[in-house]
Structure 1
Amino acid sequence: MKHKELIAKMTLEEKASLMSGKDFWQSQNIVHLGINSIYFADGPHGIRKQAAGADKLGLNIGHPATCFPTAATVANSWNTELGEKVGEYLGEEALAQGVNVLLGPGVNMKRNPLCGRNFEYFSEDPYLAGKMAASYIRGIQSYGISACVKHFAVNNQEGRRMSIDAVVDERTLREIYLTAFEIAVKEGKTKAVMSSYNKLNGTYANENKHLMLDILRGEWGYNGTVITDWGGSNDRIAGLLAGNELEMPTTAGETDREIVEAIREGKLEETVLDQCVDRLLELVFTTEAAHKKPHEEFHVERHHRVSQKVAEESIVLLKNEGNILPLKYGKKVAVIGDFAKDARYQGAGSSLVNPTILDHTMDCFEESGIDSIGFEQGFERYGKRNKDKVQKACDLAKKADVTLLYIGLDEVTEAEGLDRNNMKIPDNQIELLDALYEVNPNIIAILSCGSAVEMPWINKVRGLVHGYLGGQAGARAILRVLSGDVNPSGKLAETYPLRYEDTPSYHYFPGDEASVEYREGPFIGYRYYDTADVNVLFPFGYGLSYTTFVYSNIQVTDNQVSFELTNTGNVAGMEVAQLYVSCQSKEIFRPNKELKGFKKVFINAGETKVVTIPFDDKTFRYYNRKTNQWEIEGANYTIMIGASSTDIRLEDTLYVNGTDAPLPYEQNELLSYYSGNIKNVQVNEFESLLGRKVPPSKWDRNKPLGYTDTIEQCQYAKGIFGRLLFHSVVFAYWYLKKIGKRSKANLIMMSIFHLPLRGIARMTGGIVNMPMLDGIIMMINGRFFKGLGHFLKERRKIEKAKKTK
């Protein structure tokens, strides 16, 4: 232990006190030992240090900070150097605001397009997500503060995220859902990891020894700090035994006393606590050292321009019929759509940033050189139909050569704590598009949203530019692409299916009650579409340019692949060359191809460059459930270089020696997986993949409710108080939506409806403790007066204790 001497000076109570927060955003301090509090702030794409209400979770407005494009946006750049630059600027701003630990990046997989937090995650591919995350982490930590990669692990739905049990087989877990974290830990060298709310195969993530001890600390050699998601601690002692050091937020000393009692009763070895304290102290002292060095306030304008550069490189050109883009000089342009007036530039929830500057499209036209003849709102932002707005938009479009139509998803549709209901753009926006098409078919759609959407309307637009959520400078960045000042180079980090029903997890998402079953196994995203030969709208890795590239002269060795890349167009541009690998053996089921490398290259018009992509330890490996380790299958492998997962330009074959591991599967038991057609996997086949019985997926409606049951489950409570509690929350949600307070309605769903009952104690900072919660649970379970008496009795104890202090 690095801090053995300091720990020896601490009392047991002092050591225990360091294991939970001082308040909602700070760790505990011990003044006489020189241990100060450190500050945590949300910040995957900008610093959200709350300007008020530091003792409350809330979603209070934060101090002004640069709002960079979200992770889903920057992933489309496929540029790790750019990711590292974003990280550096985030680190600089965190330092300027007195932040020690920045809670990000998020690297959970985009298992399903409807996950409400997909805007905050990089990709459906673990290799791309891991490489981008590692670059962010290196940048953030270059300023001496800590990143905190999240949410570890298998947190792929927002609904019931605090209680759902993710049921996933070991191979899928390792290859798909842990690989990005592995890269973040090994290559990014993150100092902190945030455990997720959910259970993994029956055990809460922060208590899961297989996840936390065997894999994270054992196999990956991680020696940093693990922090719970806010309110994500279930059994505090079980969490410590799994090496989960810091519980956030504060519990006003309640769980500290649990730790002391567990050690005195022999349930917890004091040496386990000492190791946890040692790792936390390392985080405290290393991040505190950064703040002791002289540093300046960040340059607001410079950071804004960097945000613009990042957005420009992350914009994806999806359609360019007849080379309608870039806009020709002198073309008269009608600008239509509410998102042109008020840009949609970030997601909602804990990552909400208060921007230092905010560009809007209508304020940027003069410098763009585009001739705008006017603006019409066209549609109501939150879906209400308005014929008058549609008519005014059509009248303007008739006068224009080209219509720029700004459409997308609103702020409350993509939000933390909620999953989307469907993949559609709101009907009122599509009705506007239909009407515009009748009067002027020269439509260029500019799409603003953080996740995949269906596009049955795509034949009615000649151009389609996807800006995703481009941060505070995104509006100007889009205009620079439209005008041709910037040659688009973004490529999709996720597949766009033709319809939601085509997605591999369609039948298995979300988990409705107790569990969510990952029956599709490793076949998520393009791994499924390419293997099962399912047509998609836009494949993984797809994106157009204003120039063209030719690939040639592939050369494969045991260690790398190289090839020539030529810009055959008239303008300079950047191309993302992608390495895919396919095993030709059929002994072990695999996706048809998997991304194993990529490189973004800038090439002048007419220039040729030699591009080299090295192989690494992940290029040929698979996880073998019989040997419980990574193995390599001895076989011929097809080495593919492509412009997308379906646009393969070059191929070669390489034989790779294997590790001679036993075959892990009986093929006749897993026919769906060997074919890749995993849309309707039956329970017996999934159990063969799991190697065990599938747990019950429904709640037990007959048992009394307890700490880990949710407010939602109170609809089945034996006591009228519990059912009344449930219906009160449902009514509040309905009423707030009815009067237009959608953000507040969403907050109720996020922080109350799916909250486990233990969260009433864990998230109130000591206002309600566990003994008081026992009283509330008695009332919910039908013993109202006994529970109320118990609650009031415990409440009086707290008030009495406060008076005697």
Structure 2
Amino acid sequence: MKYKNLISKMTLEEKASLMSGKDFWQTQNIDRLGINNMFLADGPHGIRKQAAAADHLGLNASIPATCFPTAATVANSWNEELGEKMGEYLGEEAVAQKVNVLLGPGINMKRNPLAGRNFEYFSEDPYLAGKLAAGMIKGIQSHGISACVKHFAVNNQEERRMAIDTIVDERTLREIYLTAFEIAIKEGKTKTVMSAYNMLNGAYTNENMHLMRDILRDEWNYEGVVVTDWGGSNDRVAGLLAGNELEMPTTAGETNEEIIEAIKTGKIKEEVLDENVDRLLDLIFTTEEVFKKTHKEIDQEKHHRFAQKVAEESIVLLKNEEEILPIKKGKKVAIIGDFAKEARYQGAGSSIVNPTKLDSTLDCIGDCGFESIGFEPGFDRYGKKSQKKIDAACELARKADVVLLYIGLDEVTEAEGLDRQNMSIPENQIELLNALYNTNQKIVVVLSAGAAVEMPWIDKVKGVVHGYLSGQASAKAILRVLSGEVNPSGKLAETYPIKYEDTPSFYQFPGKEVSVEYREGPFIGYRYYDTANVNVLFSFGFGLSYTTFEYSNLQVSKDGVTFNLTNSGSMAGSEVAQLYVGCQSEDIFRPKKELKGFTKVFLQPGETKTVTIPFDDKTFRYFNVKTNDWEIEEANYKIWVGSSVEDIRVEETIFIEGTKAPLPYDSTNLPSYYSGKANNVSQAEFEQLLGFKVPVATWDRSQPLGYNDTIAQCQYAKGASARFAFQMIRFAHWFLRKIGKRSTANIIMMSIYHMPFRGVARMTGGVINMPMLDGILMIVNGQFFKGVKHVLKERRKMIKSTKEKSSIAKPAEEM
């Protein structure tokens, strides 16, 4: 241990106190030993350090900071260097705000397009997500502070996220859901990892010995700190044994007492606590060094310009019929859509950033060369229908050469804590589009959304520019692409299916009660569509340019591939060349193609460059459940290089020697997986893949409700008061939506409806403790008067204990 001498000077109580927060965002300090507190702040795409009362939902404004594009947007750049540079800017702002740990990036896989937090995650592909995350981590940590990769792991739905049990087979877990974390930890060398809320195969992630010890610590040799997601601790002692150092936020010392009691009774050894303290001290001391130096003030304009550059590289051109784009100088343009006036530029929830400035389309359009003839909102942002607004928009469109139609998803549709209900753009926006189509068919849609949407309307528009959620400089960045000042180079980091029913997890998302089953196995995203030959709207890796590129002369060796890339068009631009690999053996089921490398290349018109993409330790491997290790199958491998997973330009075959591992599966038991058509797998076949029986997925309504049951389950509680409270919560949610207060309605779902009872204690900073919660559960389970008496008794005990501790502490401070 690095700090053995210091730890030896601590009391047991002091060591335990370091294992949970001092308040909502800060860790505990021990002044007599020179141990300062750390500040942790949300920050996947900007610093969210709150100046007012702290919360985890983004309710209270934070100190102004640059709002960069979200991870879902940055992923479309396919540019590791850009991600690292963005990390440097984030790290610089974190240091300026005295933040030790920046809570990001988020790198969970986009298993399903409706997952409410997709805007905060990079991709459906673990290799792309891992590489971009590693770059961002390097950038953040170059300033001496810590990044915090989250949410570890398989956190792929928001509904019941604090209680849901994720059931996934070991090979899929390793290849799909852990590979990005492996890259982030081994290559990015993140100092902090955040555990997820959910359970994994029966154990909460921060208590899961297989995940936390076998894989994270022993296999990946991770020596950093694990912090819980806020309120994500279930059994504090079990978490400590698994190597979870820090619980956030504060529990007012309640869980510290649990640790002390466990050591005194011999449940755990004090050496376990010492190891956790040692790792936490290392994080505290290494990240606080940077604050001892003098730092210059942040150049907000410089950071804003870089946010614009990131956005420009991440915008995706999806359609450009009749070369309607770029819009030529002098063209008369009608600006229509509420998002043109008030940009949709970031997600909602714990990642929300208070921007230093915010570009507006209407303010920036004068710099673009084309002539704006006016603006009409056309629709109500939150879905209310208005024929008057449609008529006014159509009247303006009649006078235009080109209609720029700004549509997308609003802030309350995409938010942490709840999943989307469907993949559609709101109906009132589609009614506007249809009316405009009947008025002027020269329509270019500018789309704002953090995840995939259905586009049954796409044949009615000439162009689609997808800005995703491009941060505070998004408006100008998009206009520069529309005018041709910037040649679009973004490529989709996720597949756009034609309709939601086509998605491989359609039948298994979300888990509604006890568990969610990942029956599709490794066939998520393009791995499914490409293997099962399912047509999609836009393929993984797709993105148009104002120029054209040619691939030629592919050479494959044991070390990687080289090829020539030529800009065969008339405009300078960047191409993302993508390397896919597919095993030609049929002995072990595999996706047809898997991304194994990529590079972004800038070329002048007519210029040719020789491009190299190396192979690495992940190029040919698969996880063998019999050997419990990574193996290589001896076979011929197809090597594809192209502009997207569907647009392959050059290909070759190479023979690779294997590791002679035994075959892990009997193909006769797994027909869906061997065919790749794994979108509707039976329970029996899924259990063959798992190697164990799946748990019962529904609540046992005969049992009393406990700590890990949710407030939503009060609908069948024995206590009449609990059932009444549930109905009131449901009514309040319905009523708030009815009167247009959708954001407030969402908060009910996020912070109450799906909250497990233990969260009431874990998220109230000690106002309600676990003994008081026992009384609440008595009330819920039909013992009303006994429960009320218990709550009041435990409340009095807690107040008395707090006063006693305060009176003991005061003389010590006076000394």
Which bin holds the TM-score, normalised by the shorter protein?
over 0.9
Structure 2 residue aligned with 1:428: 428
User: 2:533 aligns to what?
Assistant: 533
Aligned partners of 2:558, 2:391: CA distance in 1, in Å?
Answer: 63
Which residue of 1 is the match for residue 449 of structure 2?
Answer: 449
8 Å CA contact 1:252, 1:766 repeated in 2:
yes
1:388 corresponding residue in structure 2? 388
Deviation at 1:563, TM superposition (A): 0.1
CA contact 2:335–2:405 (8 Å) conserved in 1:
yes
* Preserved contact between residue 73 and residue 311 of structure 1 (Cα < 8 Å): yes
**CA displacement 1:107-129 (0-9 Å, x = unmatched):** 00000000000000000000000
Task: Tell whether the 8 Å contact from 2:57 to 2:350 is kept in structure 1 after alignment.
Answer: no
Report what 1:761 is aligned to.
761
Kept after mapping to 1: 8 A contact 2:56/2:349:
no
Check if 1:203 corresponds to 2:213.
no
Alpha-carbon distance between aligned partners in 2 of 1:298 and 1:803, rounded to the nearest angstrom: 44
Aligned pairs for 1:333-482 within 5 A: 333-482=333-482
- The alpha carbon displacement at 1:734 in A equals 1.8
Q: Which residue of 2 aligns with 1:724?
A: 724
- 1:273 corresponding residue in structure 2: 273
Give the match for residue 622 of structure 1.
622
Letter matched to residue 767 of structure 1: V
8 A contact 2:155–2:196 mirrored in 1: yes
Residues 597 and 615, structure 2, Cα contact 8 Å, conserved in 1: yes
The 1:56–1:149 alpha-carbon spacing in structure 2 relative to 1, beyond 3 Å, is closer
8 Å contact from structure 1 (residues 489, 574) kept in 2: yes
Note if contact 1:44-1:105 (Cα within 8 Å) is conserved in structure 2: yes
Give the structure 2 partner of residue 316 of structure 1. 316
**1:86-118: CA deviations, max 9, x gaps?**
100000000000100000000000000000000
Alignment partner, residue 38 of structure 1: 38
CA offsets per residue over residues 509-559 of structure 1, 9 Å max, x none? Answer: 100100000000000000000000000000000000000000000001101
Query: Distance between the aligned counterparts of 2:539 and 2:803, measured in 1?
Result: 65
Q: How far apart are residue 294 of structure 1 and its match?
A: 1.6
What residue number does 1:574 align with?
A: 574
Q: C-alpha displacement at 1:51, in angstroms?
A: 1.1
What's the CA shift for 1:716? 1.0
Query: Match for 1:424: what amino acid?
Result: S
Say which SS state the counterpart of residue 439 (structure 1) adopts: coil
Q: In the TM superposition, what is the alpha-carbon distance from 1:55 to its structure 2 partner?
A: 7.4
Q: Is the 8 A contact 1:23 1:55 kept in 2?
A: no
Structure-to-structure mapping, 1:58-69, within 5 angstroms? 59-69=59-69
Aligned partner letter, 1:35: I
Counterparts of residues 481-492 of structure 1 (less than 5 Å): 481-492=481-492
Alpha carbons 2:418, 2:750 under 8 Å: kept: yes
Matches within 5 A, 1:732-771: 732-771=732-771
Runs of 5+ unmatched residues, structure 1: none
Equivalent residues in 2 for 1:678-697 (5 A)?
A: 678-697=678-697
Aligned-partner Cα distance in 1 for 2:544–2:243 = 47
Residues 444 and 750 (structure 1), Cα distance of their counterparts in 2 relative to 1, 3 Å cut: same
Partners of 1:708 and 1:758 within 8 A in 2: yes
Structure 2: unaligned runs, 5 residues or longer: 807-815
CA distance in 2, matches of 1:47, 1:732: 33
- What is the RMSD computed on CA atoms of the aligned residues? 0.8
Range that drifts further, 399-408 or 713-722? 713-722
Letter of the 2:63 counterpart = H
DSSP 3-state at the match of 1:364: helix
Other structure's SS at 1:464 match:
strand
User: In 2, Cα distance between the equivalents of 1:409 and 1:765?
Assistant: 34
User: 2:676 maps to which residue?
Assistant: 676
Equivalents in 1 of 2:525, 2:84: separation in Å? 26
Counterpart CA distance in 1 for 2:55 and 2:24 is 5
Q: CA deviation at 1:725?
A: 2.2
Are 1:100 and 2:100 an aligned pair? Answer: yes
**Where does 1:175-324 land on structure 2 (aligned, <5 Å)?**
175-324=175-324
Report the alpha carbon displacement of residue 803 of structure 1 after superposing the two structures with TM: 3.4
Counterpart residue number, 2:811 = none
CA distance in 2, matches of 1:548, 1:470: 25
**8 A Cα contact 1:75 1:123, kept in partner:** yes
Letter of the structure 2 residue corresponding to residue 539 of structure 1: S
Q: State the distance in 2 between where 1:322 and 1:738 align.
A: 43
Shift, 1:57, TM fit: 6.5
Aligned partner of residue 438 in structure 2, secondary structure: helix
Give the whole-Å Cα distance in 1 for the aligned partners of 2:139 and 2:423. Answer: 34
- Deviation of 1:58 after TM superposition, in Å, equals 5.9
Query: Retained in 2: the 8 A contact 1:112–1:505?
Result: yes
Distance 1:803 1:92 in 2: 42
Cα distance in structure 1, aligned partners of 2:56 and 2:516? 31
Secondary structure in structure 1 of the residue aligned to 2:6: helix
- Whether the 8 Å CA contact 1:25–1:55 is kept in 2: the answer is no
Rounded to whole Å, the distance in 1 between the matches of 2:104 and 2:544 is 30
Query: 1:30-84: CA deviations, max 9, x gaps?
Result: 0000000000000000000011013776621100000000000000000000000
Distance 1:144 1:757 in 2: 38
Q: Which amino acid aligns with 2:144?
A: G
Aligned to 2:328: 328
CA distance in 2: counterparts of 1:44 and 1:438, whole angstroms: 42
2:551 aligned with 1:560: no
Distance 1:58 1:496 in 2: 29
Give the conservation status (yes or no) of the 8 Å contact 2:672–2:678. yes
The C-alpha deviation readout for 1:737-784, integer Å capped at 9, x for no partner, is: 222222121111111111110111100001000110010000000000
Residue 326 of structure 1, CA deviation: 0.3
Q: Which amino acid aligns with 1:318?
A: L
Cα deviations across residues 646-680 of structure 1 (Å, max 9, x unaligned)?
A: 00000011111100000000000000000011122
* Deviation for aligned residue 1:736: 2.0
Q: Within 1, Cα distance between the matches of 2:137 and 2:737?
A: 38
Give the distance between the partners of 1:425 and 1:342, measured in 2 at CA. 17
Contact 2:58 2:352 in 1 (8 A): no
- 1:547 and 1:15 map into 2 onto residues whose CA distance is 61
Deviation per CA, 1:404-435: give whole Å up to 9, x if none. Answer: 00000000000000000000000100000000
Change beyond 3 A, Cα 1:22–1:619: same
2:810 paired residue number: none
